[in-house]
Homo-oligomer: A and B are copies of this chain.
């Protein structure tokens, strides 16, 4: 085999990463640098595509979560966690590329989507490439302790779940009968699984005792669900400038989310109107008037309170504070 990727991985994990443990902000800076470097120095064949993606790499809430969870009792983070966090962001980027194909989305993070700019076929392959690169990166992380699972061996099953979530969402396109339970199953798979993967990987790379593992897993799941609930509200109430993506995109592509599910439940006339075809602004007004946003916000608050309670079980104050901030960020709507 040629060693394009090997060389690349070695060079990116080489000079710009000290073998010493890092503070949280430093670690996140390293993730951002590493991510940009991987995208900008990809093999020439795919560099146009990856460089395009490097223009807008997102806020990195999954990477930040992983790093926060990986904090040791000395509040420091091992270099392996930087690698794992980069891998998770690459995985996320790969899913976004395929997602955007499925959703026919034109823009993402304020820039043109890959399939619009380079065509659907190259976009499928670019997603596959980033996906493999992420696993390749994860595979080189040594476990924190000999008896712990390796990060790359916990990632695949989460990723299978994400695929199932995408398929479940897609197969419910335009389904106005979607109920809350089904909605939560979709977001649990398509979004919360990768948050849980980040929390799980962070835990494995920390020095936390095995008995708190389940706290991390539940926290990851909750954070992901809260994040998606907030995102689904923003789709109705934000301006395109603010969220850097078209708003009301969910309704336009027939994705039914909690604000609409609630509105359909309390406003008996809405279903008929939606079926006949409702202008975007009318749909937005109807969902708001029915209290769909308020209801979703109340669920976010409930789940956030539950998550904060779980957080209080963690022994490190800095870690707790860091995760509280991330939770606040995820819930912001």
Contacts and interface: CB of A to CB of B under 8 A. Distances in A.
A122 interface: yes
A163 B128 contact: yes
- Tallying the copies of this chain within the complex gives 2
B132 A163 contact: yes
Given A170-B125, A217-B1, A160 B136 contact: yes
Interface in A82-125: 98, 101-102, 120-122, 124-125
Interface string A145-171: 000001011111111111110111011
A241 interface: no
Contacts of A78: none
Given A150-B150, A221-B1, A124 B136 contact: no
Contacts of A122: 167, 170-171
Interface stretch (A2-10, A204-212, A305-313): A2-10
A164 B133 CA distance: 11
A159 B125 CA distance: 11
Contact of A136 (B140, B156, B162, B189): B156
A193 interface: yes
A161 B125 contact: no
A129 B188 contact: no
Interface residues of A, number: 53
A251 to B, nearest CB: 19
B167 A129 contact: yes
Contacts of A274: none
Contact of A133 (B2, B160, B162, B166): B160
Contacts of A152: 139, 152-153, 156
Contacts of A153: 139-140, 150, 152
Given A2-B161, A132-B163, 6 more contacts: A1-B157, A2-B189, A101-B124, A126-B167, A129-B167, A150-B153
Interface of A: 1-2, 4-6, 43, 45-46, 98, 101-102, 120-122, 124-129, 131-133, 135-136, 138-140, 150, 152-164, 166-168, 170-171, 188-189, 193, 196, 217, 221
| In the A-B complex, the 3 residue pairs with the closest CB atoms | A135-B156, A139-B153, A136-B156
